[in-house]
Amino acid sequence: MASSSTGEVPADESPTEYMNSALYWEAEKHHIGHAIEKDAQRLDQLRTRHGNTVLHICITSDKTLADKNKTTNKEDSSCCKFVECVLQKCKQLLMKRNEKQETPLHLAARYGNEPVVKILIEQAEALHNADIAKQMLTMVTKEKDTALHEAARFNHLRVVELLISEDPDHYKYNANEAGKIPLFIAVERGYNKVALAILSKWSSENSPNGDPHGRNVLHAAAIVGIHGDILGKWKQLSKETDDQGWTALHYAAEGKWELTVKQLLEFDKSAAYVQDEQGRTALHIAAWNGHEAIMKQIMMQCPDCCELVDKRGRNVLHFAVESDRFKAVKVITKEYSLSYLLNAADTEGNTPFHLIMPTDYRILQDFIKLRRLDTPALLSKKNQNAVDIVYANQKDVASTKRHITRRLRKQLREANKNNTDHGDESSALEKIENAKDSTLIAAILIATVTFAAAFTMPGGYMSSDSSKSGKPGTAVLGKKAAFQAFIITDTLAMLLSTGAVLSHILAVLHLDTSMKLTSYIWAVYLTTFAMIAFLIAFATGTYVVLGNSPGLAITVCVIVVFALLLYLFISARLHETFEMLLPRFRRPKKEAKNNEVKIELNNEV
């Protein structure tokens, strides 16, 4: 054992020697052996290279703390027994620090060893000197951390509660070298229970500057969602802001603490109008994070808060759209009184619609259904309209872009429908009347041909002198799958075409223009589907009779498949055309009802 330590000597100036390996391992194993007994009176002088005493080693090596789910108590812990026994032999160890200025209490608090913390405090109080116990609680490390800083940093709730109960008036207000008190260490790490334990013992007269970001105790309470009587102790701080301009309401809105937001608004509603350095209110923060319940609370109590914009000129709807919060968007768009937000542009000329990402399909779909959206005027300062913006992101899936573009074009057509005069309607009706005859002829021809094909079976019928098995008069190829498919599709084609003829008859009988157009649309759809079924029947019928020439049969089928794809494409175009035409002839229900009443009155007169 030799010379003194070359490192920085702890607060006491007692001579120091390096401990031998036997003493070290007895401390590590929590065993009172020969080495401990031999040097019992000078254990405070025996240190490791970093100034650790046997208590530092014992507390650090406590294996019962390795499992967080396992509780440690005074009775079954060898560490506790070792600490008690060693302190009885050498009480000077209680206040000894290592090179980092850490006492045994710092380590016990850091590792959450509540039983050892209790023993250390009891041993300090047993010295019959209250100042020694308080001094131990307030001793700081090189970073000026107290034991409470350590317990709060590592989320040891029971240790925090124990330390606070020992010194409720002063201990928790100490700031470390970083300027943080234990409360804000717990808050920053999201240890809400620890923060609540500290706040529950907090005096309402104390609001220290224990946070480098300028936050006060009410900010801390709002961050962890505290409400009730505890929050009421600091209601006078509700409009105070931190370094970034946030009030407690900003933090409560960000954390989705509904009850805290409600109580803060009860304290002072004007806090909802406080804007931070970027011009954001608590409502903007709630919208950005998609907290629709918080948004509803603020909007209910402070409705004109929605009018506020940030320094970029963006309103609450801009925030909800930009952060892709569909439910937050719905909270705003369903309120007719807030329709002015839909077309409000920021300083760059962008409305909320321009901030929608092309992949945000739900928000985009919700927007283009809104009649209050000024769709034709959606031009940004870069002269981009809605469709241009959809195509701006080249990473989008092509099918998604096409679908969205179709919806936008449809909305643009509907937005312009009020500008269409009656002359256009007459012209459209005239075109429909001209096309109606052609579709009627097509439907009749399909019905005729398919009816005849059903009795002119491919391959013919069984004769009475046929060598093949089967009843005379039945189809020769009746058992083949292709023949069966031919019969089914031929039947479908005939039924669909006759349905189309019936729809034409209904179109003639209807007096109402809208119903007339609807019947005609059904006729066109039925005729189109009949043609598709007719093509399939042709392909299967040809295939079954060309069984001996498979190459030719397959070629015919491939040609028919391409024809079917063309038919489907044309059908999609027809669908878009009908979607454009039909709203033009529809009358509002109220207007139609009024017209019916007028007709009845005229008849009575």
**Which residues does 463 contact at the CB level (< 8 Å), separation at least 6?**
472
Please tell me what DSSP assigns to residue 475.
B
- Residue 227: DSSP 8-state: -
Owning domain of residue 471: 437-596
In a domain, 280, yes or no: yes
Q: Which residues pair with 47 in a beta bridge?
A: 18
Among the candidates 291, 311, 341, a domain finishes at 341
User: Are residues 450 and 571 located together in one domain of the fold?
Assistant: yes
Same domain, 335 and 454: no
Q: Average pLDDT of the chain? A: 78
**CATH number, domain with residue 286:** 1.25.40.20
Does residue 225 belong to any structural domain of this protein? yes
Report the distance separating Cα 409 and Cα 591, nearest Å. Answer: 27
Q: Are 400 and 406 in contact (CB under 8 A)?
A: no
3-state secondary structure of 18: strand
Together in a domain, 326 and 462: no
Q: For 241-260, what is the mean pLDDT?
A: 94
Average pLDDT rounded to a whole number, residues 157-177? 81
- Indicate whether 538 belongs to any domain: yes
The answer to whether 358 and 400 have CB atoms below 8 angstroms apart is: yes
pTM for this structure? Answer: 0.58
Q: Are 591 and 451 within one domain?
A: yes
Average pLDDT in the 106-112 region?
95
| 455 and 592 assigned to the same domain | yes
Distance between CA atoms of residues 191 and 172, nearest Å: 16
* Closest residue by Cα to residue 14 from 41, 44, 39: 44
Task: Give the whole-number percent of the chain exceeding pLDDT 90.
Answer: 31
Q: Tell me if residue 461 falls in helix, strand or coil.
A: strand
pLDDT band at 208 (very low <50, low <70, confident <90, very high): low
**Same domain flag for 443 and 584:** yes
Q: Give the containing element (helix H, strand E) for 17.
A: strand 17-18
The answer to whether 117 and 104 have CB atoms below 8 angstroms apart is no
**CA–CA–CA angle 346, 415, 570 (5° rounding):** 120
Q: Provide the 8-state DSSP code for 46.
A: E
pLDDT above 70 for 81: yes
End-of-domain residue from the set 310, 341, 372: 341
Q: For residue 118, is it within any domain?
A: no
Report the number of distinct structural domains present in the chain. Answer: 2
Do residues 441 and 332 share a domain?
Answer: no
Q: Which pLDDT tens digit goes with each residue over 462-510? A: 555 555 555 655 666 666 777 788 888 888 888 888 888 888 888 777 7
Q: Of 311, 341, 371, which marks where a domain is finished?
A: 341
pLDDT at residue number 209: 57
Q: Domain for residue 492, yes or no?
A: yes
Contact call for residues 198 and 186 (beta carbons, < 8 A): yes
Task: Classify residue 61: in a domain, yes or no.
Answer: no
Q: Are residues 583 and 476 located together in one domain of the fold? A: yes
Q: Which DSSP symbol is given to 143? A: T
Residues 6+ apart with CB under 8 A from 473: 461, 462
Q: How many CB atoms are closer than 10 A to CB 87?
A: 21
CB-CB contact of 46 with 18 (8 Å): yes
- Within a domain: residue 525? yes
DSSP structure class, residue 50? T
Residue 283 lies in a domain: yes
Main-chain phi, psi angles of 85, to 5 degrees: -65, -45
Mean pLDDT of 218-242: 86
Strand partners, 18: 47
